[in-house]
Amino acid sequence: MITALSGETSRLRATVDFVKEQDTATLLPLLLPGLDGPELRTLVERCAFSHAALLVFPPDEAALDATLADCGLVVDANPRPSVVVRRRLAERHGRSAADLDVGVLRPAVECLDGALRSVEVFALTVPPGSDLDTVAAHERERQHEAHVAFEVEAPDSLVLRGLCATFGRYGATPDGGGYNPHENGTVFYFTAPAEAKAGYRRMELYVPGDHSDVLAAHLDEHRVRQPAEALLRLLTGAWTTQALAAFARLEVADAMDEWRGVDVAELARDVGVLAPNLATLLRYLTMLGVVSEGRDGFRLTDTGRLLRADVEGSMRPLALMYGGPFYESFAALEHTVRTGQVAFEHRFGENHFDHFARDPELAELFDLSMAAGSRMFDPLPAHPVLTEANDGAVVVDIAGGNGELLSRILSAHPRLHGLLLERPHTVETARRLLGAAGHAARCTFRAGDFADVPAGGDVYVLSRVLHDWDDDRCREILRHCARAMPDTADLLVVERVLPADGSASLATAWDLHMMCNVGGRERRADHYARLFADAGLTLVGRVPLPLDGSVLHVRRTGPADTGTRVP
């Protein structure tokens, strides 16, 4: 034990000396050979050498304090949990993260250039006789967590992407990273090029705050460089769907707390399941960021909160739908690709509209799942067509589902009136929802189909309707709209639009879903423009919406058919 502790002290002392002797301008070219001139100056302006890190293995807190004191390091706080390193160790050694007591300290060091930097000390407690001895021996030899770090000041997404790209141009490759909620900081790990001369092979960019958008791209690039792992993650995607669906069906999220951890045994009793099996599910969901695990148990993350039934914008119905009927039909995707027959119809013997209409519970779930994606609608009530509409103008929501979108529009614009056209059983659901929202006096309801689009409205809305149908049926629907629209009327079409450049988009995923389960498709903007033109309509504008949605603004091309104004 004395030899092990003295070895830890010498390793830590060497790290302290390194921090004292280096500065940003001299260290970066050692890590990234060839970096000089304007790009070096830009990096020095954007980030600063902040610390060097080492993972040590004390048997207890007193031994850690003694090692720090021997190296002249003073700390005035207890170690904070290190989420990222704990997760990396768990993955590397096949351990449960809950069994790894990893803390982090950052004692300050006064450097030769007068700057105040720190030594980042990760400490994995390894009690005498612990089975973690093999983990400690492996980590001491390989030094996986030893790294040098640069902190980014006043970051934004553009700066972060630029820094990551510059590191890449000089041979550094992504090597993971993560977000630590305990200190509200994001880390980006890189492997330095083989010719680096600093004695460290790992580099870190530390960024205050949550930068999950840039981090996701960084982690994706890391996985792409490991094709076997990347493919294995893709192949297990079905497990993710069912894990989320099971979590939703068992109502686990509803029994959890966002702020307080809950013990697995207690949670298992509350939801009526087996504690060991629930623990396995929760560890998997921790890896997905749906829950987090701490010393006090598991708690919901912001993502997991969306699977509660009682929160605004709950996505629980989507989890049940995608893990239920649509999951079953996706098993016949091959059949759709080979024959052109819709997989849902092949599996259930009828189209999804008829299938859901015959089962009240499924019909309600479908309507709720459509409403669960309502974040796409958040900016829509601010569209100029609605904000500039005359007092008393009528908004006609065609196939408006349970009225979620129309309710938002009427709430935002008390001077407007609404008319919702839907199937008979759905109209009653919408009537209750809009009535509960206080809009009953300003809203009319009509049961019917697309041939019954009422004439004389001021604004018509087709939200996530056209993607359900092939081109011929879309033209027919749009012609019904065109015949009903006065010359001055506007049509707002809400859809996910396929990107023209092939860039990543939710629309591409939904294109596959629509083909497999509905018999419809997503389309590019120019495709929609042709469909509008065929119906005597013109695409005059497009505005992006959340969740990769778009609102397409459409007007009549020529004079309208004479029609009676909507009452």
Q: Counting beta carbons within 10 angstroms of the beta carbon of residue 128, is it exposed (0 to 12), middle (13 to 18) or buried (19 or more)? A: exposed
Cα-to-chain-centroid distance, residue 359: 32
- Is position 467 annotated as part of the catalytic site? yes
- CA-nearest of 346, 26, 265 to 355 is 346
Measured CA distances, 455 to 486, 492, 531, 545 (Å): 8, 16, 21, 28
| Cross-strand partners of 396 | 419, 460
Could you give the 3-state DSSP secondary structure of residue 247?
helix
Six-digit token string for 473: 């049926």
Instruction: Show the beta-strand stretches assigned E in 242-317.
Output: 291-294, 297-300
Which residue of the set 147, 467, 480, 513 is catalytic? 467
Q: Cα torsion at 225, 227, 228, 229 (round to 10°)?
A: 50
Q: Counting beta carbons within 10 angstroms of the beta carbon of residue 195, is it exposed (0 to 12), middle (13 to 18) or buried (19 or more)? A: exposed
- CA-nearest of 468, 462, 475 to 395 is 462
| E strand or H helix at 418 | strand 417-422
Residue bearing tokens 């000396």: 17
Six-digit token string for 494: 């809400």
Q: Are 564 and 455 in contact (CB under 8 A)?
A: yes
Cα-to-chain-centroid distance, residue 101: 28
Distance between CA atoms of 51 and 117, rounded to whole angstroms? 6
Residues 6 or more apart whose CB falls under 8 angstroms from that of 64 comprise 56, 58, 79, 121, 123
Six-digit token string for 321: 């739908």
Distance between CA atoms of 481 and 484, rounded to whole angstroms? 5
Q: Is the torsion defined by CA of 534, 535, 538, 543 positive or negative?
A: negative
Catalytic center residues? 467
